[in-house]
Amino acid sequence: MRLTELEFDDAQPVQGYGPGFFRIAGEVVAAPLIVTASGAGPWGGYTDLDTLLNMKGEIDVIFFGTGDEIGYLPRELKDALDDAGIGVEAMNSPAACRTYNVLVSEGRRVAAALLPVTKT
């Protein structure tokens, strides 16, 4: 198997995660957050739609990390993002971190909205 090291240029990858936290740019964040190529910021969860809609025109898809298990996204959230032209993919948070990292390393216009895991 051939492994290829990811290069992020100026993008901000998810460097790690654990019970209740994420590590972005060397800093530990113990809360839900949104990560884009330009950095990370707080996210109030599924009801914090404005934070997501403010990325309209800057990203093409948001990977939702739903915690330890794959969860369903609220219909209103999916519909609003679809109306704004932003794609939505829900997966558990570890998978969302990995998917985001690979695509942001390719220069794709992606974001990850992440809920912390409770176990590793």
- pLDDT score of 18 more than 90: yes
Q: How far apart are CA 28 and CA 83, in angstroms?
A: 33
Which three-class secondary structure state does DSSP give residue 31? Answer: coil
Which three-class secondary structure state does DSSP give residue 61? Answer: strand
Q: What is the pLDDT of residue 3?
A: 44
Q: What is the pLDDT of residues 68-80, one digit of tens each?
A: 999 999 999 999 9
Confidence of residue 7 (pLDDT cuts 50, 70, 90): low
**Which of 8, 9, 7, 27 has the alpha carbon at shortest distance from 17?**
27
